[in-house]
Structure 1
Amino acid sequence: MILPLVVLAFCGRLVASAVITLPNGRISGREDIVTTGTTKWSIYSYLGIPFAAPPVGRLRFQPPVPPQNWPGTLECKSNNRKCYQVGMNDKYETEDCLYINVFTKEAPNTRASQPVMVIFYGGAFKAGAATTYFRKVQHFVREGIVVVTLNNRVGPFGFLSTGDNILPGNMGLKDQQLALKWVQDNIHLFGGDKSQVTIIGQSAGGASVSFHLLSPKSSGLFRAAIARSGSALSAFGYQQNAILNAYGIANEIFPNFGNKSSQELLIALQSATAQQIDNTADKYNVFGPVVEPVHEGAFLSSPFHELAQRPPANNVPVLTGITSEEAIGKAADLNAVRHSANVYDFHPENMVDSCMNVDESKRKEAGVKIHASYTQGKLADDLAAMIRYDSDGRYAKPVIKYAQLQSQFTPVYFYMFSYHGKRGNNNVFVEGAGRVGHAEDNLYMYMDPEDPSFTSQLPPADIRAAKQYSTLAMNFIKFLNPTPSKDPLFQGLTVPTVTPQKVSYLNIDANLQILTGPREPAYSSWVEIYKQYARAPFVCF
């Protein structure tokens, strides 16, 4: 409990409890006094509210179910719980992890109708937790937005699948879905308007956002979506070897399990301890969403790329974007980058996306064209080109493609976060590559530009970039448009909408610009290579 006390010393003072009566029972949150300039205001935090029953015993690997009512008043003043993480050991890991947090400036029992922001975390679908206290989101709350964060299951607990109706998978996405239903049923009690919900996420959280756009089961649960550095077309958002993973884990724990039925696998793994399952991460550590078989509770039952080409299940506006060089972090180990480059120089077929479903006889030919999209020489002699390839392959191209497909049906706005500053704490540099890496923009989005505990050590340009980036999101949450008017903060610029033929975007840098064609010319090369070599149906892009 030391960390929250330190945060309060900088940002506010705990003054009282705040009690709200939910349909499941009473909860007691906390009221903190925050000082912004010369103004003091209250922020109310309700941390660790159950939105689902603990997914243990026979509920392990099953869709979440609503929680039981509780007697008395449940204290909701802290939440350190984390769902089991892959490859990490943390004393706060627990299967009993399905809790939600709400931050609002509205006192209990007051009538208000504020827009709502629901945050899904990143972490490659194998890590992440909603343990943030109010400090990182207080600027959203101050500006009249109710902020919701939540835990969802990750790794095998959230995404184990046998590819059939016994264990169809996607439990982690279904956790998010139940949390969104909880928001619809309860957020008015916190001063929020259930008809003004925006979902937002970065990386796997961004992919989650676009999965909800595609899922009919999420229909009516939100009115807008912000998907940052991830989409439903991201390769890391598709678990290609789900059945092998499931049976591998079973045989790791029960060496004589063999190839028994899915029902026997489910029973066996429900009988194992959580720690036994977690300990298999040394061999089985890649998890994520799957295409489920058709059944009543399915989250998605068609290849994701195919779904993205159709009118979305949720017809809402979208704000999406990327950083200027998502993979620049790899340049911290240039020897490893050079090693990968050497492999691709001699085996360009390895550059072909697993998503492409390329005929094996055409694989090398496709790889040569991908290689030529980045350099006319050797990648080992042009490490910036290697970095750009990694950025595009894992992050940029699936986000751009999804934006184009979605723009056929709803307004889509695109940005690139290119501002490199002190706050990003990233000194990695390769000539010819961008400067801002994956998740670096989180440090600007979730920083109150009016909080001196953040800003006192930062140059004015960092503070301005943070205000621009967070205001872009706030405007979209409130007005469904990131630049609803010509604002000096944005140099009088307004962000145009994307079309299938033209991706215009706001480049967020020391000087703002409206540009066209992010990640060109490589992106157009990928599109042509997919047209020539990829075999439909394919899941990702």
Structure 2
Amino acid sequence: MSQAMVIIALAIYIYYIPANKMNICLYINVYLPNNASSDALPVMFWIYGGGFEEGNAEKALYGPDYLIEHDVIVVTFNYRLGPFAFLSTGDEILPGNLGLKDQNLALNWTHKNIKYFGGDPEKITIFGESAGGASTGLHLISKRSAGLFRAAIAQSGSALTYWSVELNPRPTAFALADNIGGGNYGNDSAELKKFLKARTTKEIALARSKLSNTATLFPVLEIENENAFLTESPYSLLESGDFNQVPLIIGICAEESLWFLKNVTYAKYVAYLVDTLSDRLIPTDLRPNSSDINSVEKDIKNIYLEKDETFSTNILAFANYFSDVGFVNGVVKHAEMALKYVPVYFYQFAYFGRPIMQPYLEGAEKATHTAELPFLFKMFMYNETTIPEDVLTEHRITTLWTNFAKYLNPTPDPTDLLNNVTWPVFNLENRSYLNINNSLEIRNQLKTNLSIQWDDIYETYGQKPFITF
């Protein structure tokens, strides 16, 4: 299999991968199919995940081979990460969101220039997974990205996952500088910025590695300024319909949490922390009154646990809780709110094959976070496989995704490859979704009871206006 590949140097940025890497140029990679038709092709603009802290667009990791077989152009790119991208003092001095602004710059460039590579600038679909899925959701609500794409696919992330927006970024900015040492900035944002600009990238990366594991570097709500990417609550924007209204595919993997829990021993340790520390149990975006903490804890645990059980003694329940709070709730809520304004197609990826890792928990679903990626992209950690089910799943998901990029409908016509299913739009009555496993199946009532229970918790205890969910 071969394809034409063009790599364009767009700009030079400090780009953070892990602490032992230094400066890397920001590149845009434009992948063209061989023998493409003379017509302008649809474009798929990929935003990789990695918790806003790590990742890259290398071809070895996100090879476009499977997608460009379907006569689309694939665009990938690097964007700044970690403290070089999302450090914020919560004011005009260090407003934050540089990583999202990099993404927006790459998207602008693609919209302006893809015609020179045979692409149609009016047929750009943005898609991403995890932090890339959250980024996709944030482009959907950012006015800076308006008019730059006509469809979106958000995989295991959305504008409403709680980690899509950091509500209190300022302490982390000062804690990072404190880890470097030798500064005389007090609580002054301008002095802090001056101090950090005089440091090397290595010093800053090392200081990040010393922060506590509860310190996060995520997108933020900026104060109003001409360069702002996001200034308003994602929840409010979706609720009011004040967002970029384009068709959307959105979904989850069957058991998102297993990627992070890794094994039973580690899972029991994390479960113990959640059992004993309310700030680990209660989603940060809920922001309940201190007088309600005990009631919130009880109501959350009642969703998952029987009387006298703990998460430490019921690891399966903990895995379900972790998946829901970390991914499912925010993704499902985004779909519920967007469907009032745009066609929404919801999926659950449940097929277990080509696993990036093989976590196992008795009674849990096997398809964990990232499980769909080896079927969308040719990834260096896999040899070419001839396992029929794997090849079939690859052909199915790439067909669904590229159909959407071409026709704004993942199943425009029934086909044997897609089990002759017609993927219906998501609605609040049937809550229909596509379950992607050894076969494709339309199911109903997606997470219905779960949504009712968490809605009740947010309505009862949550601090309004909601930011995420």
TM-score band, normalised by shorter chain: over 0.9
Map residues 456-475 of structure 1 onto 2, 5 A cutoff. 456=386, 458=387, 460-475=388-403
- Cα shift at 1:501: 4.7
Change (3 A) 1:453 1:160: closer
Instruction: Tell me the distance in 2 between the aligned counterparts of 1:172 and 1:420.
Output: 32
Kept in 2, the 8 Å contact 1:102–1:147? The answer is yes
Kept in 2, the 8 Å contact 1:250–1:257? The answer is no
Aligned to 2:32: 104
Per-residue CA deviation, residues 149-168 of structure 1 (Å, 9 max, x unaligned), is: 00110111111111112221
Instruction: Tell me the distance in 1 between the aligned counterparts of 2:209 and 2:338.
Output: 38
- Cα shift at 1:106: 5.8
Match of 1:188, SS? Answer: helix
Kept in 2, the 8 Å contact 1:447–1:466? The answer is no
* Matching of residue 368 in structure 1 with residue 298 in structure 2: yes
What is the TM-score with the length of structure 2 in the denominator? 0.93
* Matching of residue 129 in structure 1 with residue 56 in structure 2: yes
Per-residue CA deviation, residues 331-380 of structure 1 (Å, 9 max, x unaligned), is: 53212322333444456674221110111111111111111111214133
How big is the alpha-carbon RMSD for the aligned residues of Structure 1 and Structure 2?
Answer: 2.2
* Count of aligned residue pairs for this structure pair: 462
Instruction: Tell me the distance in 1 between the aligned counterparts of 2:188 and 2:270.
Output: 40
Q: Equivalent of 2:281, from 335, 342, 351?
A: 351
- Cα shift at 1:266: 1.9
Matching residue's letter, 2:258: I
Instruction: Tell me the distance in 2 between the aligned counterparts of 1:425 and 1:133.
Output: 14
* Matching of residue 455 in structure 1 with residue 382 in structure 2: no
* Matching of residue 409 in structure 1 with residue 341 in structure 2: yes
What is the TM-score with the length of structure 1 in the denominator? 0.81
Instruction: Tell me the distance in 2 between the aligned counterparts of 1:294 and 1:425.
Output: 41
* Matching of residue 214 in structure 1 with residue 145 in structure 2: no
* Matching of residue 180 in structure 1 with residue 107 in structure 2: yes
Q: Equivalent of 1:231, from 158, 165, 178?
A: 158
Matching residue's letter, 1:469: I
Match of 1:455, SS? Answer: coil
* Matching of residue 307 in structure 1 with residue 265 in structure 2: no
Per-residue CA deviation, residues 25-79 of structure 1 (Å, 9 max, x unaligned), is: xxxxxxxxx3xxxxxxxx21112x2223x246xxxxxxxxxxxxxxxxxxxxxxx
Instruction: Tell me the distance in 2 between the aligned counterparts of 1:520 and 1:426.
Output: 30
Q: Equivalent of 2:266, from 319, 336, 343?
A: 336
Match of 1:161, SS? Answer: coil
Change (3 A) 1:138 1:276: same
Q: Equivalent of 1:529, from 437, 457, 460?
A: 457
Q: Equivalent of 2:248, from 318, 326, 337?
A: 318
Aligned to 2:373: 442
Instruction: Tell me the distance in 1 between the aligned counterparts of 2:107 and 2:78.
Output: 12
Change (3 A) 1:470 1:293: same
Instruction: Tell me the distance in 1 between the aligned counterparts of 2:418 and 2:247.
Output: 21
Aligned to 2:10: 51
Change (3 A) 1:523 1:349: farther
Instruction: Tell me the distance in 2 between the aligned counterparts of 1:343 and 1:143.
Output: 47
Match of 1:149, SS? Answer: strand
Per-residue CA deviation, residues 429-470 of structure 1 (Å, 9 max, x unaligned), is: 32332111101211122149xxx95233x2x11211121111
- Cα shift at 1:500: 4.1
Aligned to 1:30: none
Aligned to 2:417: 489
Aligned to 1:247: 174
Q: Equivalent of 2:361, from 390, 407, 430?
A: 430
Structure 1 vs Structure 2: percent identity of aligned residues? Answer: 35
Kept in 2, the 8 Å contact 1:84–1:153? The answer is yes
- Cα shift at 1:187: 0.6
Residue segments in structure 1 that go unaligned for 5+ positions in a row: 1-10, 12-33, 35-42, 57-82
Q: Larger relative CO (CA 8 A, sep 6+): 1 or 2? A: 2
Per-residue CA deviation, residues 366-416 of structure 1 (Å, 9 max, x unaligned), is: 111111111214133321111010011101110011011111110000000
> Is 150-159 or 522-531 further displaced after alignment?
522-531
* Rg (Cα) greater in structure: 1
Q: Equivalent of 1:191, from 118, 121, 124?
A: 118
Match of 1:356, SS? Answer: coil
Match of 2:285, SS? Answer: helix
Instruction: Tell me the distance in 2 between the aligned counterparts of 1:346 and 1:185.
Output: 53
Kept in 2, the 8 Å contact 1:97–1:152? The answer is no
